[in-house]
Every structure is written in structure tokens, then in C-alpha cells.
Amino acid sequence: MVVSLNEKEYEALSNYCRKHKIQKSDFVRRIVFSEIMAKQYAEAPTLFD
């Protein structure tokens, strides 16, 4: 998976992760996975019942 960020977005992400002592790769992975799961649930809510 590739996530494209412009310089300002990347800098903001880096600063946030540094401030909260989070690894960028883990943070991005969790956000992307959460979005995928939310969309999947919206499309097929009974899949998770």
C-alpha cells in the first residue's frame, strides 16, 4: 500500500507522531484499516454480525 502525502501533510503527520510518541507506519496502518472497515460495514453491515 502506498500513501501519498504532500510536504505539509507529511510534516504535520511527523510532528503529530513525534509529539505523541507514535510510530508513523503503525499510525497510518491503523487509520487506513479503520477507513476500510468503516466502508465495508457501510456497504455490508450484516457481514460483521
Helix (H, G, I), strand (E, B) or coil at 6: coil
pLDDT at 1: 60
Could you tell me where the beta strands, DSSP code E, fall in 1-49? none
Q: What is the pLDDT along the chain (49 residues), one digit of tens a residue?
A: 667 889 999 999 999 999 999 998 899 889 989 999 898 888 887 766 6
pLDDT at 6: 93
Rounded Cα distance between 7 and 43, Å, is 33
Rounded Cα distance between 33 and 40, Å, is 10
pLDDT at 15: 96
pTM (2 d.p.): 0.61
pLDDT at 44: 83
Q: Which residues of 2-32 are buried (b: 16+ CB within 10 A; e: fewer)?
A: eeeeeeeeeeebeeebeeeeeeeeeebeeee
